[in-house]
Amino acid sequence: MDGLPIAFQLKGRGVLVVGGGTTALRKLRLLVKTSAEITVIASTPDSDLISYAAETGLTLIKRQFSASDLSNKVMVISATGNPSLDNSVSEAAKGRNIPINVPDRPDLCTFHIPSIVDRDPVVIAISTSGNAPVLARHIRERIEKLLPKNIGKLAKFAREFRSAVKSMIPSAQDRLNLWESVLAGPIAQKVLSGKITMAREDMVKLVNQIPEKADHGIVHIVGVGPGDPDLLTLKAFRLMQTADVIVYDRLISTEILDLARRDADRIFVGKSKGYHHKTQDEINQILATKARAGKRVIRLKGGDPFLFGRGGEEMKHLHQCDIPVEIVPGITAATGCAASLGIPLTHRGIAAGVTFITGHGFNGAPNIDWTGLSRSDNTIVIYMGLSRAREIAEKLMTNGMRSNMPVAVIENGTRTDERTIVGVLEELPQLISEHDLSGPSLLIIGKTVNEMTSPISHDLLSDLPQAIAV
Ligand SMILES: C[S@@+](CC[C@H](N)C(=O)[O-])C[C@H]1O[C@@H](n2cnc3c(N)ncnc32)[C@H](O)[C@@H]1O
């Protein structure tokens, strides 16, 4: 991140705009929403700009820019459309360390003006650091649609009660819990639907009833899907915004972690095959200890917590400790990877079912009915199967599965570095050993692999000497 988004306080401070055309006018329309003291310098301003200055009361000076115009200014925008004049304004501003923006000239800027969602006092800035202003506008339009119209009223409502809440509730944690429940609950809903008087009455009651003791904590065991942050559920996303503590492991992508509340404590409890940073008991202890301290703990799990995720073990332990726990399902790697590749896991007339198995059992090899599996028409999805791929392929073939059954291996499915290898069952171990797969990988075995519809652009597919036999 080269630029840090900040909210610059402009109330009563001098801002200079140089230029008298439509670009300058567009910037002025934004600036007048602040309480800055705005001066415009333009030798021949457009008539629209002249009327706008008269209408809004900003100072318009009709003459050439001079460096002395910068005195007492805290920000400058040069939108003259004249490259050499913009250049001189930029140099003069930079020489005095005054932030300068020149529309469409990133080389002359020391700051960019983000795309803005304005629900004053709630303001959201979207910046692409000058790389793609149109993309910023698209993102803004999506946020505009998502955000309740009255969100600014909610912020004003919170400000109205802030000092009362502070004086009534001494503990910072209790205050945080109160605001979390107010903003996510019926009081906020009333404000958002315009029933402010009712919301005020409820709020007064709530503040007067608040128990002295801090609330007990809670653990949310949250599935976040296979890696693509767009596959998060809304519930997972919302909980990640309110967490006090985030406990995560190596399957959680950085893009997903970046969406979590910034000031939450983050605890890495990564495990990788054969090497345990933290044992399951230690993880259980961390979850319980943090929740007992009154924290809202989010235990992030790759995929779905109840599919090969040990979510059940963590839930059981927390129940035994009498700690409230909630499970939030996620998109499991099988469905995420299948969707990404366009492989239907069931398909009428081809696969009547799907079986999820793990390549790792509780104590070594998994206890699996290989005969039933080899002879059924089910698609088989194998989690954690890479290191046992040879054994798995042999078991399936000796129990009756045809050796040219299509297989797909997907590494880092749904992530930007997703890779796919396709082939047939008998060559599965060789395919895996030929490619250096280090990320989480899934095996899909069955006739539906042939139904793969997505255009595969992954490098590995074209490397294959033998593509799948359709
Ligand atoms: C401990 S299991 C967790 C499974 C997870 N709970 C789920 O529902 O997807 C880890 C295994 O899931 C599979 N896996 C998880 N994410 C994956 C991804 N993005 N691409 C391919 N396989 C993945 C791999 O087989 C990996 O070894």
> From the CB of 225, is ligand 1 less than 6 Å away?
no
- Tell me the CA end-to-end span of the chain in Å, nearest whole number: 47
Mutate to test the pocket of ligand 1, among 248, 250, 251 (most ligand atoms within 8 A of CB): 251
CATH homologous superfamily, domain 341-463:
Tetrapyrrole methylase, C-terminal domain (3.30.950.10)
Per-residue model confidence (pLDDT) at position 227: 94
**Cα–Cα distance, 62 to 157 (Å, whole number):** 44
* Residue 369 burial (C-beta neighbours within 10 Å; 0-12, 13-18, 19+): exposed
Task: Judge whether 60 and 46 are in contact, CB under 8 Å.
Answer: no
Residues 186-189: contacts with CB under 8 Å, at least 24 apart = 188/154
> Which position among 94, 271, 278, 447 bears the catalytic label?
271
pLDDT at 365: 66
- Determine the CATH number of domain 14-113: 3.40.50.720
* 151-209, CATH topology level: Helicase, Ruva Protein; domain 3 (1.10.8)
Could you state, in order of their start, the residue ranges of all structural domains in the chain?
14-113, 151-209, 218-331, 341-463
Which residues, listed in sequence order, are joined to residue 297 by a DSSP beta bridge? 219, 245
Half-sphere exposure of 365 (CA within 13 A, CB side): 10
Which position among 249, 290, 295, 301 bears the catalytic label?
249
Between the CA of 285 and the centroid of ligand 1 the distance, in Å, is 24
pLDDT at position 211:
55
Q: Provide the pLDDT for residue 2.
A: 80
Whether the CB of 45 sits within 6 Å of ligand 1: no
271 is catalytic: yes
How far away, in angstroms, is 405 Cα from ligand 1 center? 23
427 in ligand 1 pocket by Cβ < 6 Å? no
3-state secondary structure of 6: coil
User: Is the CB–ligand 1 distance for residue 337 below 6 Å?
Assistant: yes
**CATH 3.40.1010.10 matches 218-331:** yes
The pLDDT score that the predictor gives to residue 171 is 87
Give me the pLDDT at residue 216, please: 61
How far is residue 235's CA from residue 227's CA, in Å, rounded to a whole number?
Answer: 16
Tell me how far apart the alpha carbons of residues 425 and 120 are, in angstroms, rounded to a whole number.
Answer: 60
CB-ligand 1 contact for 332 (6 Å cutoff): yes
- Partners of 123 in the beta sheet? 118
pLDDT the model gives residue 271: 61
- Whether the bond into 121 is cis, omega within 30 of 0: yes
Distances (CA, A) of 116 to 17, 77, 132, 143, 299: 19, 17, 14, 10, 33
Q: Is 341-463 the same fold as 151-209?
A: no
Question: Residue 368 has what pLDDT?
Answer: 86
pLDDT on residue 273: 55
**How close is the Cα of 312 to the center of ligand 1, in Å?**
16
Ligand 1 contacts CB of residue 331 (under 6 A): no
Question: Are 40 and 28 contacting, i.e. CB atoms less than 8 angstroms apart?
Answer: yes
In tens, the pLDDT along 424-436 reads 999 999 999 999 8
The model's pLDDT over 12-55, given as tens digits with 9 standing for 90+, comes to 999 999 999 999 999 999 999 999 999 999 999 999 999 999 99
pLDDT-flagged residues of the chain (< 70): 210-216, 271-276, 361-366, 454-470
